[in-house]
Amino acid sequence: MRCIPTALCLGVLLLTAPSVSAAGDVQYVVGTSEETDPSGLLESHQHITEVAFQDYNMAMRDLMVGNIDFFLTTHSIAADPATSENTPGLSIVGMVEEIESYVPVVLPDSQTVIGSMELLDAMNVALGELISSNSLSATYMTWFIGESEMDASSFEGSIGEWPTPTEGGVLHSIVDNQREMVACMYDRDSPMSWQDASAQMNGYEAEVAQMMANKMGTHYGTHITFRGHDSGGEFEAIEDLKRGDTCDFIMASITPQKAMSKGLMGGIPYHIEGYVLMASLESPPLQSAQHLFLSADEDEGSEFDQRWIAIAVLSAFIAYQLARRQ
């Protein structure tokens, strides 16, 4: 019977024992750079010391050699393979805060434009299937470092059924006549979009647009190709779409808010942009990007939950021993 009092004593010790993480206040040194402004995310956390760098290249070099613990920057900087080719060993821990999302953009239907919203609905369904099947994530990883933040469950309410093309409309023309989708884009000189020597648009956005065209072609029983038109810039892409004789939609890193402000309509996102946390081989262990912002006292709560698991096991052992004695 002595095992039962012993188990009870162990349970008391587990409850009263301080958390390991609370034994010493964990301090982190986090770098930022002038190209971005994530300081507001760090200001209220006393256990985080911010070190500001003139540019991200300097910050990433210091991260690589262990002069700072982590680097807080934008996804577009951290995930670009060209950015980190001279700083091996760096990785993205995860996204800290979403800034914006990029969506395909169309003209709203009007007296002079019909079937444009049908095209947007079809692209939404195609994107939803690409996200759900992880095809979009796989494509993302061919152009960027790390993993995509896209999650189909976030957009389920925005994804409807495949639309039936209205004769004479934009979608009907793509499916039954021209058999081609044309997107206004521009050369951003980045993995998102760039133009090669033959004036062909390449990059993540062009590949996603081609995948949408393939999905639409499969559903409507025809072959639909994709062609990117280089408008030269964001303003020009919007004007080209409004003119109505250049492209069917825009695929140029435009946010839903920007589309609405220009009198256009945006679909579901194909890319999430935000602040991400980078680490190196010299960085201290961190469960997730969000754990950076937990102080020792806050982290103690999660450790306490684990102690309750041990107590439950001890309780079961005591109950078993009592039943066995009876």
pLDDT tens string 216-262: 999 999 999 999 999 999 999 999 999 989 999 999 999 999 999 99
Sketch the domain layout of the chain as residue ranges. Answer: 1-25+303-326, 100-272
Identify the helix (H) or strand (E) that includes residue 134.
none
- Tokens linked to 71: 């680097």
Please state whether beta strands 201-202 and 194-195 pair in parallel, antiparallel, or not at all (unpaired): antiparallel
Mean pLDDT confidence for 98-112: 93
Task: State yes or no: pLDDT of 73 exceeds 60.
Answer: yes
304 pLDDT exceeds 50? no
Task: Indicate the average pLDDT of the chain.
Answer: 85
pLDDT exceeds 70 at position 94:
yes
Distances in whole angstroms, Cα of residue 180 to Cα of each of 16, 185, 211, 238? 69, 15, 13, 20
User: What are the CA-CA distances from residue 306 to residues 253, 278, 315 (Å)?
Assistant: 44, 28, 15
Q: Where are the beta strands (DSSP E) in the chain?
A: 28-33, 48-53, 70-74, 91-106, 180-185, 194-195, 201-202, 225-230, 249-254, 265-266, 271-279
**pLDDT above 60: residue 5:** no
Q: When comparing pLDDT for 294 and 105, which is higher?
A: 105
pLDDT for res 180 = 94
Residues 70 and 292 sit within 8 Å (Cβ to Cβ): yes
Of 188 and 323, more confident: 188
Q: Which CATH class is domain 100-272?
A: alpha beta
Question: Residue 170 in contact with residue 238, Cβ under 8 Å?
Answer: no
Mean pLDDT to the nearest integer, 280-301:
80
Residues 6+ apart with CB under 8 A from 321: 3, 4, 7
Pick the range with the lowest mean pLDDT from 97-101, 171-175, 208-212, 305-309: 305-309
More confident of the two residues 288 and 21: 288
